[in-house]
Chains A and B, each alone.
Chain A
Amino acid sequence: MKVIIELFGASRDFSDQNLLELDVENDSTTKDVRNKILNYLDINFKGNENFIKIVNSSVFCSNDNIISDNYKITNNEKIGIIPPIGGG
């Protein structure tokens, strides 16, 4: 199945399209998606360490709620990646 990841903040540098569309196994969780993103970065950015740190310190959101690592993703679901924040 597919998952669409909307990019915010520093994660926007992962793609010039402001989102990633990744194939994941059925019944995947947020944790699985995190690993898929790390795999994508390994292939496309030679495991860029800064990017890996961003992913490992990010949370994810769905329907405007922060979701936990064991949240079950549905097919074609759009989730957002929320890197460490700092507004003001």
Chain B
Amino acid sequence: MLHTKVIDVKERKLSISLAENFISSSDFGASIFFSGTVRNQNNNKSVVGITYDSHDALVIKSFEEIYNETNQKLKIKDKAVFIEHAKGFLNLGEISIIIAVACKHRDEAYVLSRYIIEEIKKRSPIWKKEHYLNNESDWLKGNPIVHEKD
């Protein structure tokens, strides 16, 4: 069971309660809620906010691929997964991503949650532009997507 969405923050904020409603089931004995939030420091600079950019279709596709491959790679078949990522400008402390997972047992839930966030970092086309106290802003460098050049 999977829910994925890229949320334009002009429309609504990300909400843990929506994630809780989605994964809640008596089939599962362990739930983990991961949220990423905007922090006030990065690389010794005072951050006041972050603008998130996204290729929405490719992001959703990557979320679905990551979810589907956990059947084989992690051998976790019974699960509920809720993934939402924000798009647009976020102030300090606001939520940029929610990954909520529910599994039968805690071992699976911890592994699944960690796997999903690490794969999103590597594979989902999302970009951050940091805004600083001195009114400057900068796109963060990020990691290239691996592709064939020939």
Contacts and interface: CB of A to CB of B under 8 A. Distances in A.
A59 interface: yes
B53 A12 contact: yes
B150 interface: yes
How many interface residues does chain A have, given as a range?
Answer: 20 to 34
A85 interface: yes
Contacts of A88: 36, 96-97, 117, 120-121, 126
Given A84-B143, A85-B145, 18 more contacts: A13-B139, A58-B144, A61-B55, A61-B58, A64-B58, A66-B147, A68-B150, A83-B142, A85-B123, A85-B124, A86-B126, A86-B127, A86-B142, A87-B54, A87-B96, A87-B128, A88-B96, A88-B97
Contacts of B140: 86
How many interface residues does chain B have, given as a range?
Answer: 20 to 34
B19 to A, nearest CB: 16
B85 interface: yes
Contact of B148 (A64, A69, A84, A85): A69
Interface in B90-125: 96-97, 117, 120-125
B45 interface: no
Contacts of B96: 87-88
Contacts of A59: 144-145, 147
Contacts, number: 89
B127 A8 contact: yes
A85 B52 CA distance: 11
Nearest to A10: B139
A87 B87 CA distance: 10
